[in-house]
Structure 1
Amino acid sequence: MHAHAGKWYLFVTLHDEAQTLAEPPEVLITTYRRGTAVAVADSPYGPFRLLDAERPQTPDAFMALDGTLWVEDGVPWLVYAHEWIQRLDGTMEAVRLSPDLSRSEGEPLHLFKASYAPWLGERITADDRALPPYVTDGPELFRSRTGELLMLWSTYLGLAGTQGYVQTQARSVSGRLAGPWELAPVLVGDNAGHGMPFRAFDGTLLLVVHRPFGSPATRAKLYELHDAGDRFDLGRRRTDLDGGD
């Protein structure tokens, strides 16, 4: 959810499994319509109304998810993950939005591939390469205290559930959305990710991630997060806030 231009906008990923997509021959899993749709309300409590009830704001033929808003030079962009299911090597992309956020404009902008992460080759075994583990999830952008453009994003170390889900980060070398993007090491392991930075009421910068698999059941985990300018540094786990494991 984003406050923008006097309104509240909810970016939600929706699935339509009945509408399959054309597939290149190397895709091993049936692809279907999936995208991020944008809804608007006057209040964060809603009610929310879809800006376009017929299609998502992500490209119509893409399996896209986890879209988020980023505004650069007054121009709104939808930053999203293009599914590895369709791409084999998942990508982060962005598409320009109209001023009212109701539709995309122009061609998607490629940011980076999941396989660009230099540490993936050190963690993935030969057995894990039976299927591509190159997943992109959960982009969330943040302008650091020194003006650097950082992105939180998540991927897997190996196939889903085998070596775990991780929270990692990237930095735009140019400080602009177009990049180029430099991918940094894992920030949070322990089968948790899909994170978002936020400030507590006392001003402390925190990171919330979800733990998607295993036991205990899915729940939020909270960490202190340090804005180092060119990167995030992870602080202590706040079990006093998230209830612990």
Structure 2
Amino acid sequence: MLSINDIQIRDPFVLTVPEEGCYYLYGTTDKDPWGVHAQGFQAYKSSDLKIWEGPYPVFSPPADFWADRNFWAPEVHRYRGAYYMPASFKSAEHRRAVHILWSQSPLGPFLPLSREPVTPAGWECLDGTLYLDDTDSPWLIFSHEWTQIHDGAMCCMRLTEDLKSGCSLPAVMFRASRSGWSMNDTGDVIQGGGENYVTDGPYIMRQKDGGLLLLWSSYSVTGYSIGTAYSSSGKITGPWRHAPKPFFAADGGHGMVFYTLDGRMMLAVHQPNKTPFERARFIPVQVLEQDLKLG
């Protein structure tokens, strides 16, 4: 048994399974997530968010899998009777991309759903999350990385019903520089010519008024942070309006929101943002009309 402080993890994602009375925790679990010899993904199981069983190996790359490094940010979504895991991968020959894995069980084994990633060929992409629109059509929200385009973009793309590929051209939801709080050239985190702005860690929620609230991460004056954007039209294509300041700016990020077994809303983040000290933090949050509030 482990406490949450025993688990090194980035990009935590919590799947609540009421019928089992438990939670599953996924995330970037390689000890050196920046290295060139990725191992896979591990998961943990808990009934109280405090004491965890595991680790359980839920994905190990098949011998013919295209990626060998930077196995990052797995999420797990229930969809049409199975479990689907969009995650980020990279190799020396292939740009970083989002590939979707699948399994019949929350504890895997997860296997590639298709031979190729779902994000556009030639793009440097990461941090995919699934979204079902008001017609139950699936979309992928993902980041087009600053490493390729300097001003990182949050993008969306309609997926085929089986989630194996995109079936529309990607649309830019917004660029990081338009947020008003994402910082340019933050020390050794962002390097390269020109002005560079990060987008990563999208997570989307439908609000009571029908609008869409998107959590996303970048770098603010205090370091790694989470901001929010709102689409009052209720459409994933926006237009998106940004909260003027991050709602979480304490050297942590890549947030998502989940409900506890007793109905409370929690924010999951990793904090701090430095390897190997990252740990999952679960923080109560409240829904405002068009935003979130800690506590």
Determine if the TM-score, normalized by the shorter chain, exceeds 0.5.
yes
In 2, Cα distance between the equivalents of 1:137 and 1:126? 15
In 2, Cα distance between the equivalents of 1:214 and 1:58? 28
For each residue in 1:7-55, what CA deviation from the matched residue of structure 2 results, as whole angstroms up to 9, or x when unmatched? 1101110111233xxxxxxxxxxxxx111100111111112221112x2
Query: Which one of the candidate residues 169, 193, 206 is aligned to 1:143?
Result: 206
Moved more, 167-176 or 82-91: 167-176
**Kept after mapping to 1: 8 A contact 2:119/2:125:** yes
Query: Which one of the candidate residues 56, 60, 78 is aligned to 2:121?
Result: 60
In 1, Cα distance between the equivalents of 2:274 and 2:79? 37
1:221 equivalenced with 2:284 (yes/no): no
Aligned residues: 215
Q: Alpha carbons of 1:210 and 1:75: their partners in 2 closer, same or farther (altered >3 Å)? A: same
Match of 1:154 in 2: 217
Q: How does 1:141-220 map to 2 (within 5 A)?
A: 141-157=204-220, 163-184=222-243, 185-214=245-274, 217-220=277-280
The letter of the residue matching 1:14 is F
In 2, Cα distance between the equivalents of 1:18 and 1:119? 34
Q: Alpha carbons of 1:40 and 1:124: their partners in 2 closer, same or farther (altered >3 Å)? A: closer
Match of 1:22 in 2: none
Match of 2:132 in 1: 71
Structure 1 residues not aligned, in runs of 5+: 20-32, 236-245
1:51 equivalenced with 2:113 (yes/no): yes
Structure 2 residues not aligned, in runs of 5+: 1-75
Q: Which runs of 4+ in 1 moved over 4 A?
A: 123-131
1:101 equivalenced with 2:176 (yes/no): no
**Kept after mapping to 2: 8 A contact 1:10/1:39:** yes
Query: Which one of the candidate residues 141, 145, 162 is aligned to 1:83?
Result: 145
RMSD: 2.2
* Relative contact order, higher structure (CA 8 A, sep 6+): 2
TM-score (norm 2): 0.68
The letter of the residue matching 1:180 is P
1:12 equivalenced with 2:87 (yes/no): yes
Q: Alpha carbons of 1:215 and 1:9: their partners in 2 closer, same or farther (altered >3 Å)? A: closer
Residue 105 of structure 1 aligns to a residue whose secondary structure is: coil
Match of 2:177 in 1: 115
Percent identical residues = 36
Instruction: Give how far 1:125 is off.
Output: 8.6
**Kept after mapping to 2: 8 A contact 1:133/1:156:** no
Instruction: Give how far 1:124 is off.
Output: 5.9
Residue 289 of structure 2 aligns to a residue whose secondary structure is: coil
In 2, Cα distance between the equivalents of 1:224 and 1:145? 19
1:39 equivalenced with 2:101 (yes/no): yes
